[in-house]
A = this chain, B = another copy of it.
Amino acid sequence: MGRKKKTYKWYSKQKLNEVIFGFDTPAGKAYDVILLVVIFISVAVAIWESTPRPSATTKTVLTIVEYAVTILFTIEYAVRIYCSPKRKQYIFSFFGIVDLLSTIPLYLTFILPGAHHLVLIRAFRLIRVFRIFRLFTYINEGIIFVQSLRKSLAKILVYLLFVLILVTIIGTIEYVIENGEPGSGFTDLPSSIYWAIVTMTTVGYGDITPVTTVGRMLSALVMVLGYTIIAVPTGIVSATYIDETRKRVKKGECPRCHGKVQEGYKYCPHCAEKL
């Protein structure tokens, strides 16, 4: 009987596990959608609270919602631990820690009153959304994209090192040219390197701008050449992305739903994606 009970209990755990961790059952899907909504509500509350002087009523409502969300997340975290077959693995996994952090902010405010920085932890709750990403069929696109990004990572890192050296040298030259001019923003090297990055990426805030003719000429050169240089990683990632998509079709796998497809198929039989 003891064994039977345990079996029953284990089944119940498995059910819970299916609902909370799984995406395949209708209950699992519904659960994920609800979780998604709660996460977005909690972040919306954090954003709203940061705006200047909300009215007293609003503040009360927002606090209540934050309490509710925290309680929900705490219960959920407990259930996740309870129904996890490998508890330790879950607790110390990336998402396990994210789940724990999601419950903490409110509790910390009891200990550290006015803990201003906790808004950051509340924003990290959004990371939980990535777990639910697999819910949508077309999210596999996103996975291919992330894979393309990871595949191109080595190239992009070398590239970034190159850009870093380049902007340091450019920033220093501009600093030597512009420093000392009245009204110049090139007061020190960090500002000048920051300016070089702002210019090369074509962001162009305009908080630091060259005022001398020579400084402007260098600046113009940086813009025109920098543009060519800065956009290359985009080309690399795009090319990798396109290649990845084609490879999957060739490998007999639908690029959208990962289902098996045979040669000659014009549409994926699982998700109607054109091949």
Near B by CB (< 8 A), chain A positions 84-141 give: 116-117, 119-120, 122-124, 126-127, 129-130, 133, 136, 138-139, 141
Contacts of A157 in B (CB 8 A): 138
B138 contacts A154, C-beta separation under 8 Å: yes
* A52 lies within 8 A of chain B by Cβ: yes
Among the listed B50, B122, B158, which residue makes an inter-chain contact with A136, where contact means beta carbons less than 8 Å apart? B158
The reply to whether B201 and A202 form a contact with Cβ atoms under 8 Å apart is yes
Q: How far is the CA of A197 from the CA of B229 in the complex (A)?
A: 16
B142 pairs with A158, CB closer than 8 A: yes
Partner of A145, one of B159, B160, B190, B234: B159
Please tell me if the beta carbons of A193 and B141 are within 8 angstroms of each other in the complex.
no
Copies of this chain, whole number: 4
Would you call A223 an interface residue if the criterion is a C-beta within 8 Å of the partner chain's C-beta atoms? yes
Question: B141–A158 contact, CB under 8 A?
Answer: yes
The B-contacting residues of A in range 4-63, CB under 8 angstroms, are: 43, 46-47, 50-52
- In the docked arrangement, what's the CA distance between A127 and B166, Å? 9
The 7 closest A-B pairs by CB, nearest first: A235-B238, A203-B204, A123-B172, A205-B206, A50-B189, A138-B154, A231-B234
Listed by A's residue number, 13 A-B pairs whose Cβ atoms lie within 8 Å are A47-B190, A50-B175, A119-B189, A126-B165, A130-B165, A141-B155, A141-B159, A145-B155, A190-B216, A198-B223, A202-B203, A232-B238, A238-B239
